[in-house]
Structure 1
Amino acid sequence: MEFDLENPLPFSHDETHFDTISPLFNIEAHHMPSKTYFQILINSNFLINIREATISKILQISQPFDSHFLPYLAINYLDRFLSFHSLSDAKPWILNLIGVSCVSLAFKMKKTEYSVTDIQQDAGSIFDIETIKRMELLILGSLKWRMRSITAFAFINFFISSFKFKDLPFQQALKARATEIIFTSQNEIKILQFKPSTISASALLCASHELFPLQFSCYKTAIINCSYVHKDDLLSCCNVIQEITKKEYESILEIVSSTSTPVNVLDVQMSWSSDNEPIEEDSSVNAISSRQDNLTKRRKIITTIIDDNT
């Protein structure tokens, strides 16, 4: 059976939605890096450099295949592997081998036809099949052969169902934006301290704040009231994702500013007060312009999805 990020474990068709989602919350921690990985990472520039260099290689290798699936799953394998193996020798060829092997394992889960030559075209080093197999076995040992990773995508539909959307296109718009946020967030070190379900819920909240600000409070209440959600972790994760999306906007603005007058869309920010209500902070003309730009963006996203479904 081909692996699906949204449905990582095979369930029988006669099981209820609750029966299928509950086990995922119970075992999601088994598909994360070790508990000490985040703390070790933030205190080690050496390990950070190893991770960044290998992620760069994974993205480079995956780029020709036009798939978010491959690098996302490969980076999941990488973090879980690095959390159990301290690499004393970080020679470029070793990092290339790890990157190639993680992508190769992701390919196998996708059940896509590929060859070792295909995934090494842009790798910088060419490894024989036996060398890659030995590294794959080393990685699989660290994963305890749990290749069907439980990621943030496994919880998206569950949390969206609590929002009780009446219009499918709006639900699809929210899911599309949350999915984009999850993909973007994976490379950020701070996100590694949170469980996949917390990342999923936080991405949906941040996406809903962008697309449906008037309904945001209701959505937030629905997720916080979920028995599987730890409120403090959720709010902390939301703050991290907010930082990530802020950087995303800034990178876009750097491109836009080269051809037009820059408008700081980040003058309007979402923050969390002591009673967990979002606060809109605006005190300038730029903030007004920023809100207009954000509304325009939301309308374009929603209009596009609605048009695709009519």
Structure 2
Amino acid sequence: MALQEEPQELQNPPMAFDPSLFCEEGFEEDLGDNGSEEESENCDGFSKKQSSFPLIFLESDMFWENDELSSLISKEEQTHVCISGEISDGSLMAARKEVVEWILSVKAHYGFSSLTAILAVNYFDRFIASRPFQRDKPWMSQLTAVACVSLAAKVEETHVPLLLDLQVEETKYVFEAKTIQRMELLVLSTLGWRMNPVTPNSYFDHIIRRFGLKSHLHWEFLWRCERLLLSVIADLRFTCYLPSVLATATMLYVIDEIEHLILWNTKTSL
């Protein structure tokens, strides 16, 4: 089985992400403010600067007034879970962070798509939110993670490693294939066999297909969105934002980032 090496930059994506983009109170205002350079205070007290970039994607009626997009928005809450402080504790937070980091290392090891990793994390979050966290069984979170990665790979990848081969990147525990298979069935039944949830990637994919984006800049936009998303999913706080909110904030951030990159390249080429 050929393993694909992922660029070092992608293995260690930047963590710089503006929390102000996730203020729900200012969400609609951000989308409607065309080219404003004024700074405003969001609900968390962060100061944010509105992008002057012409948001050709997010401000287009063709983007928002669309049956497929409406369907995504109507379905996203069905497979979304917010792991708030009420159902989490220090042990769960530490276990989840370790699991997500391991999932990302498996993604890099096998060259899986970003969606595979996002799906695996989604399955894991929904599973642990549906069952009491067993502190006396520290191996349970690792077994669940292996099962979730296996299921996500079967949904998204064309080539899926053997169950024993999935347990890479310094795993603390190694499970037999039959044990993982039983865990897969438990995860499937717990999630009601809903294995194609709406994720932020669903909105990234929608905008690419909707506008027929094919240029290098467009694919750079998609790659940066996926990379940024992967850099924040280990943070438990981001589970409380709906996929549409997380996707829009990500795209706004990347659009602003690309705008500054284009301006810099233009200045240096003069």
With over 3 angstroms needed to count, the CA separation of the structure-2 counterparts of 1:60 and 1:159, relative to structure 1, is: closer
Give unpaired runs (5+ residues) of structure 2: 1-64
Establish whether residue 38 from structure 1 lines up as the match of residue 84 from structure 2.
Answer: yes
Q: Which residue of 2 aligns with 1:261?
A: none
Residues of 1 paired with 2:234 and 2:118: CA distance? 9
Establish whether residue 202 from structure 1 lines up as the match of residue 168 from structure 2.
Answer: no
With over 3 angstroms needed to count, the CA separation of the structure-2 counterparts of 1:54 and 1:169, relative to structure 1, is: closer
Establish whether residue 154 from structure 1 lines up as the match of residue 205 from structure 2.
Answer: no
Q: How many aligned residue pairs are there?
A: 200
* Alignment partner of 1:105 out of 141, 144, 151: 151
Letter in 1 for 2:144: I
Q: What RMSD over aligned residues (CA atoms) do the two structures have, in Å?
A: 3.1
Secondary structure of 2:91 counterpart: helix
Shift of 1:51: 0.9
With over 3 angstroms needed to count, the CA separation of the structure-2 counterparts of 1:101 and 1:19, relative to structure 1, is: same
Q: Which has the larger radius of gyration?
A: 1
With over 3 angstroms needed to count, the CA separation of the structure-2 counterparts of 1:90 and 1:205, relative to structure 1, is: farther
Q: Which residue of 2 aligns with 1:71?
A: 117
Establish whether residue 51 from structure 1 lines up as the match of residue 99 from structure 2.
Answer: no
With over 3 angstroms needed to count, the CA separation of the structure-2 counterparts of 1:64 and 1:161, relative to structure 1, is: closer
Residues of 1 paired with 2:213 and 2:127: CA distance? 42
Establish whether residue 87 from structure 1 lines up as the match of residue 53 from structure 2.
Answer: no
* Alignment partner of 2:237 out of 190, 204, 218: 190
Q: Which residue of 2 aligns with 1:131?
A: 179
- Deviations, residues 131-156 of structure 1 (Å, cap 9, x unaligned): 11221122122321111121101112
* Bigger Cα displacement from structure 2, 24-33 vs 55-64: 55-64
**Contact 2:224 / 2:254 at 8 angstroms: preserved in 1?**
yes
With over 3 angstroms needed to count, the CA separation of the structure-2 counterparts of 1:210 and 1:88, relative to structure 1, is: same
With the length of structure 2 as denominator, give the TM-score of the two structures: 0.64
* Bigger Cα displacement from structure 2, 118-127 vs 153-162: 153-162
With over 3 angstroms needed to count, the CA separation of the structure-2 counterparts of 1:105 and 1:166, relative to structure 1, is: closer
Query: How does 1:139-150 map onto structure 2 within 5 Å?
Result: 139-150=187-198
Shift of 1:159: 5.1
Secondary structure of 1:136 counterpart: helix
Residues of 1 paired with 2:203 and 2:111: CA distance? 24
With over 3 angstroms needed to count, the CA separation of the structure-2 counterparts of 1:47 and 1:113, relative to structure 1, is: closer
Percent of residue pairs identical: 24
The one of the two structures with greater contact order (alpha-carbon pairs below 8 A, sep at least 6) is: 2
**Contact 2:164 / 2:176 at 8 angstroms: preserved in 1?**
no
Shift of 1:166: 9.7
Residues of 2 paired with 1:157 and 1:121: CA distance? 29
Letter in 1 for 2:138: P
- Deviations, residues 236-261 of structure 1 (Å, cap 9, x unaligned): xxxxxxxxxxxxxxxxxxxxxxxxxx
Q: Which residue of 2 aligns with 1:243?
A: none
- Deviations, residues 15-62 of structure 1 (Å, cap 9, x unaligned): xx93333211111111211x5x22335x62122112112223323444
Shift of 1:167: 9.0
Establish whether residue 28 from structure 1 lines up as the match of residue 65 from structure 2.
Answer: no
* Bigger Cα displacement from structure 2, 94-103 vs 60-69: 60-69
With over 3 angstroms needed to count, the CA separation of the structure-2 counterparts of 1:153 and 1:167, relative to structure 1, is: closer
**Contact 2:204 / 2:222 at 8 angstroms: preserved in 1?**
yes
**Contact 2:80 / 2:242 at 8 angstroms: preserved in 1?**
yes
Shift of 1:169: 3.8
Q: Which residue of 2 aligns with 1:299?
A: 265
**Contact 1:70 / 1:103 at 8 angstroms: preserved in 2?**
yes
Residues of 2 paired with 1:20 and 1:204: CA distance? 18
With the length of structure 1 as denominator, give the TM-score of the two structures: 0.56
* Alignment partner of 2:219 out of 159, 162, 172: 172
With over 3 angstroms needed to count, the CA separation of the structure-2 counterparts of 1:167 and 1:138, relative to structure 1, is: closer
Give unpaired runs (5+ residues) of structure 1: 1-16, 214-293, 304-310
With over 3 angstroms needed to count, the CA separation of the structure-2 counterparts of 1:121 and 1:186, relative to structure 1, is: closer
Shift of 1:88: 2.5
User: Higher helix share goes to which structure?
Assistant: 1
